[in-house]
Chain A
């Protein structure tokens, strides 16, 4: 892999803040983008007005991957993959539009718990575990 040679006018100040990825702000200047690499395994976007993580977190130090309104500035809707192997959908409602289907792998059990036989999809809502009976398509 070839290295990059960057030539800038003498004394120019570029990409001011540590740990931020740069983007071309003008013809001869790099500026801070929203992307921020906190450690060698942790990339995220930051709301520059609040300093909070907002948008995307890709943290391979602990195995946390998040996308959406992470700091609750708006409605607080976001998707999160957590280190314990959960996929978390945080929002008031789940919308399926057009002809979209959802494929879920894992979380399906054949169980008789609660007196319900057959295949069920397991869900955790606000910390409480439920199951939804699955019918043949």
Chain B
């Protein structure tokens, strides 16, 4: 693991608003950006067009996103919208683990506003 030593006047991390990362003893651009008013942090990836992808934490618009939320590739994502109080799951399938009753008829446990409910699961 190399430590970084920077002499006076060194030019590093070429792009504005992009977080630096230590690669082989030199600061270079990471995939993580910040807005200049510090209201949002987001990631982009080299070679991709069509918008940000990966993560977008936006406190101004109260939106918190994970995945391909701009549909740059396959569009699978999770979007938490704290303005409209919604959780949006975009994907081909929703996969969960745990929470299945061990009785003849199976249910998925779900808690809504502190009250537990069961959703009956039917054979696919």
Contacts and interface: CB of A to CB of B under 8 A. Distances in A.
A129 B94 CA distance: 10
Query: Interface on chain B toward A: helix, strand, loop, or mixed SS?
Result: strand
B122 A133 contact: yes
A68 to B, nearest CB: 10
A40 B10 CA distance: 23
Contacts of A5: 9-12
A53 to B, nearest CB: 14
Interface residues of A, number: 76
A132 B120 contact: yes
B63 to A, nearest CB: 14
Closest 10 CB pairs of A and B: A130-B121, A58-B54, A85-B92, A87-B91, A129-B124, A114-B123, A81-B67, A88-B95, A103-B88, A124-B95
Query: Interface on chain A toward B: helix, strand, loop, or mixed SS?
Result: strand
Contact of A87 (B8, B22, B32, B76): B76
Interface residues of B, number: 73
B83 interface: no
A63 B68 contact: yes
Contacts of A81: 66-68, 76-78, 91
B86 interface: yes
B8 A7 contact: yes
Interface in A83-136: 84-107, 113-114, 116, 120-126, 129-133
A103 B11 CA distance: 47
